[in-house]
Amino acid sequence: MAGGQSLVPLMNMRLATPRHLIDLKNVAGLSDIAMSETSVTIGSMARQRQIELSPAIRRACPILAEATTHIAHFQIRQRGTIGGSIAHADPAAELPLIALLLDARIVVRAADRKRSIPARDFFVSTFVTALDESEVIETVVLPRLSSGEGWAFEEFARRHGDFALAGVAATVTLTGGRYSGARLAMSGVAATPVVLPMAERLLGEEPSRALYRAVAAAATADLTPESDIHATGEDRRDIACHLTEIALAAATERALHSTDRSAG
């Protein structure tokens, strides 16, 4: 058990009935955060609040820190962990979305082996991952964002702290006033968070509102989110489309400001 913020409610509702519970909180090193020139390595037991407030993470991977602020309420973030959120694999959750967007590596360990799983292969379906029953997450390794890389995280929930109906995360890079790199991912619109290849339509183009609208429309056209008591599938798709426009504009603005600072 990590922070217990997902498991304990499931146990209370008799939706999960584990025969044994092993508390990971006293395992040495699992709460550590380490920086290298190219990556950020976060122990699976690092609390969400710890990540949110870390100056080092805000410098190296600010989109992760920003996304963490959207998780429930701060009391939950005091207990919830990055490893617990990723292992839980809620398709509407913030941290799996960021892991997928940045193609993080999920390092997992069993008694007799250790392996690194790319985020794109880790999330299998709703609440289902590539973890074997004998494995636990040891660390999550994310790339540092480059100095000229713009980013944005947007989500919509009916009330602050509620589960998001849809979420969008994006990173972009500009060279000579045109897009030279772009990634776009969404949550809450499928059984897992998804990376949208339509972001490649930005490459070589100059920023414009019309371009954001076109990419957002293309990215969401084939989505078929399920309807539930919170929203219809059509509503989720429309929300995701709108959030994509906002995210692309915000990420581009950050990239432009970063370029201006570098030039100055």
Question: Where along the chain do its domains lie?
Answer: 7-143, 149-263
Q: Taking the mean position of all CA atoms in its chain, how far away is CA 155?
A: 11
Which residue in 2, 1, 92 sits closest to 42, CA to CA?
2
d(CA 80, CA 234): 31
DSSP states along 18-38: -S-----TTSTTTT-EEE-SS
pLDDT value of position 260: 46
Determine the residue type at 204.
Answer: G
pLDDT of residue 13: 55
Q: pTM above 0.85?
A: yes
pLDDT of residue 18: 72
What architecture (CATH level 2) is domain 7-143? 2-Layer Sandwich (3.30)
pLDDT-flagged residues of the chain (< 50): 1, 260-264
- Summarised one tens digit per residue, pLDDT across range 229-260 is 999 999 999 999 999 999 999 999 999 987 54
Class of domain 149-263: alpha beta
Q: Are 67 and 95 in contact (CB under 8 A)?
A: yes
